[in-house]
Chains A and B, each alone.
Chain A
Amino acid sequence: MSVIFQSALLLHIILGILAMVASVTLWMVFLKRIQNFRLIKFSAGATFFLLLGSWISGGYYYLYYYGASVRSVILSGPYPWAHKIVMEAKEHIFLFLPFLAAVVFFAVLRFREGEAISPVLLRGLAILITAMTTLIVLMALGGIAISGAVRP
């Protein structure tokens, strides 16, 4: 694998893990009802931009290396389901994440110190952040399964 593909894969993993950390932070802040708006806005923005970076770097690796060199190894190995189920689902479910993160980021940008936020809106956002965080964790677990399945 060339340095550029190694870098793209590493970037995809590192940015994805950092997005997971940011999303979990946001989730915990919402669950504990901590009114730290700076932390909320920073975590939501970080989740969005890190996911964008992970999408672009992972997409580059997937389009120009995975399909030509990795897919066939997985399909002919002992765990073909890692591509046929996990990778096929992962590559498409990942497309949801930047949109979920964008909506969360737009919504929390409205928060102002000293202004009351309706409990209904807080509950809705908590549900969306829970869904987004769960999907990011699923993506990470999927990535681990796919990497583990690359056995000739």
Chain B
Amino acid sequence: MKQNTIIASCIGAIAAIILTVAITIGGELYAPLKDWLKTTFTHHWLGKSVISVAVFAVILFITKFLPVPESEERIARLISILALVAILGTFSLIGFYTYEYLIYL
């Protein structure tokens, strides 16, 4: 596997996770966004799944062919950023749904 592909997959994964968190919280706060996901994809979760895969695939494809400087240190840094984004995304979603539950108790 080329270093470029690993770098591209890291960037694609970071973008897919950030977008998933953004449209999830955005859809809860702004009903038309969730409604659009429902009407376009039949279910909001299916919409988020399709969009996250599409974003990952498109960024993977585009970045793979860009002249990105390759180095193991760069890959390691991107991988660490991806881990951090996943952890922050997890805390954001758990925190958001806990807040939503508590304010409507």
Binding site for B on A (CB under 8 A): 55, 59, 62-63, 67, 81, 84-85, 88-89, 91-93, 95-96, 99-100, 102-103, 106-107, 109-110, 117-118, 120-121, 123-125, 127-128, 130-132, 135, 138
A89–B82 Cα distance when bound, in Å, is 19
For the residues of B in contact with A, the DSSP-based class is helix
Residues A107 and B97 in contact in the complex (CB < 8 Å), given A120-B72, A120-B73: no
Residues A89 and B94 in contact in the complex (CB < 8 Å), given A95-B52, A99-B13: yes
A84–B102 Cα distance when bound, in Å, is 10
Binding site for A on B (CB under 8 A): 1, 3, 5-6, 9-10, 12-13, 16-17, 20-21, 24, 43, 45-46, 48-49, 52, 56, 72-73, 75-80, 82-83, 86-87, 89-90, 93-94, 97-98, 100-101
Residues from chain A with a CB closer than 8 A to the CB of B97 are 84-85, 88-89
Shortest A117–chain B CB gap in Å is 8
* 9 pairs, A vs B, C-beta closer than 8 Å: A63-B43, A84-B101, A88-B93, A89-B94, A92-B45, A96-B86, A118-B72, A128-B82, A128-B83
A135–B82 Cα distance when bound, in Å, is 13
Chain B residue at minimum C-beta to C-beta distance from A127? B83
Residues from chain A with a CB closer than 8 A to the CB of B73 are 118, 120-121
B1:A106 contact, CB within 8 angstroms: yes
A130–B72 Cα distance when bound, in Å, is 19
Chain B residue at minimum C-beta to C-beta distance from A101? B13
A55–B53 Cα distance when bound, in Å, is 12
Task: Give the contacting residue for A103; candidates B10, B45, B48, B100; CB below 8 A.
Answer: B10
Chain A residue at minimum C-beta to C-beta distance from B17? A96
A62–B43 Cα distance when bound, in Å, is 10
A102:B13 contact, CB within 8 angstroms: yes
B43:A85 contact, CB within 8 angstroms: no
